[in-house]
């Protein structure tokens, strides 16, 4: 049974990325690749890197949220009446 990928990509975006893979191999490696081969490469990298990319995105989001929260605390602190 295949494990559901941790990240999801819309069919439109997947199609665009598969075309980019085909173009990359054609221009950079001089290798002609069909849609099926490009899709297999795409699926491999999504499966291999998906969890790492997802976790890094969560970590980056947490940093932004923490920084924003700190700014709110500082800004609210300026409202204190002495």
Q: pLDDT, tens digit, for every residue of 16-25?
A: 999 999 999 9
Q: pLDDT, tens digit, for every residue of 45-56?
A: 999 999 999 999
Please give the Cα distance from 36 to 53 (Å, whole number): 24
Rg (CA), the chain: 21
Please give the Cα distance from 34 to 41 (Å, whole number): 11
User: Is 70 exceeded by the pLDDT of residue 31?
Assistant: yes
User: With bands split at pLDDT 50, 70 and 90, how would you rate the model's confidence at 6?
Assistant: confident
Helix 11-28 with 35-77: angle, nearest 10 deg: 120
- 9-18, 31-40, 71-80: lowest mean pLDDT where? 71-80
């Amino acid at each position: 049974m295949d494990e559901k990928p941790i990240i999801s990509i819309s069919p439109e975006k997947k199609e665009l990325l598969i075309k980019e893979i085909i173009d990359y191999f054609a221009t950079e490696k001089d290798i002609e690749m069909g849609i099926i081969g490009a899709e297999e490469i795409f699926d491999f990298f999504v499966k291999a890197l998906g969890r790492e990319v997802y976790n890094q995105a969560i970590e980056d989001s947490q940093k932004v949220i923490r920084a924003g929260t700190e700014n709110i605390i500082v800004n609210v602190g300026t409202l204190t009446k002495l």
